[in-house]
Amino acid sequence: MNYPISAHTPKGDVLRQKFVDEELIAAAIVGVVDVARLNGQSLEELMAEVLADDALLDSKQRHWLSEVVAVAWEQLPS
């Protein structure tokens, strides 16, 4: 997945931190959902991207992330 940084993502030095906290992860997920919606993607299309094989996450991690993204999609206002 290749998404630009959303307006919901904290700016500045936060992006350069060695350690990522839960708020930054949550902001990134919100940003991905926002951008997907702005691009006219459906939840199913976004889920396919999240579940696509990549070098960063293993299958179990991708499935966990897809569940988190689906919850965010449903909870966030359109």
Q: Which two tokens stand for residue 75?
A: 């909870």
Task: For residue 36, give the nearest of 25, 27, 47 by alpha carbon.
Answer: 47
In whole angstroms, what is the distance from residue 59 CA to residue 66 CA? 10
Q: Which two tokens stand for residue 11?
A: 């700016």
Residue 54 has pLDDT above 90, yes or no: no
In whole angstroms, what is the distance from residue 41 CA to residue 14 CA? 28
pLDDT of 17-33, one tens digit each? 556 788 888 999 999 99
Region for residue 12 given its phi and psi (left: phi exceeds 0; alpha: psi -120 to 50; beta: otherwise): left
Answering whether pTM is above 0.85, one says no
DSSP character for 13? G
